[in-house]
Amino acid sequence: MLPTIRISKGLSLPDNDQWQFRFEVQSESSNRLYTIAQNKKKKHWGCSCPGWKKTKNCKHLQALGIPGKEQPFEINLIKE
């Protein structure tokens, strides 16, 4: 059974050429919003935060139970 992540429609973003299932998460330490999305071809998840850009792993993915390091991972995404 796939893990389920529920996203409010206000935080959902349209897909682009490279990324699908895009949505925003709030930073814990500032008022910044970061984008989390799944790579269309490789099926791994990424984040627009500095941690993911530097190490391909971040606390935002970890908080959602999504593995980093460009490991393919499927979820059931529900837009509420």
Q: Tell me the pLDDT tens digit for each residue of 5-63.
A: 999 989 999 999 999 999 999 998 999 999 999 999 999 999 999 999 999 999 999 99
pLDDT at 8: 92
Element (H, E) at 38: strand 33-39
pLDDT at 35: 97
Nearest to 37 by CA among 53, 49, 20: 20
Phi, psi of 57 (to 5 degrees): -150, 145
Q: What is the Cα–Cα distance from 53 to 27, expressed in whole angstroms? A: 15
Q: What is the number of structural domains in the chain?
A: 1
Domain interval for residue 33: 4-79
| Mean pLDDT on 58-77 | 95
Q: What is the Cα–Cα distance from 17 to 20, expressed in whole angstroms? A: 8
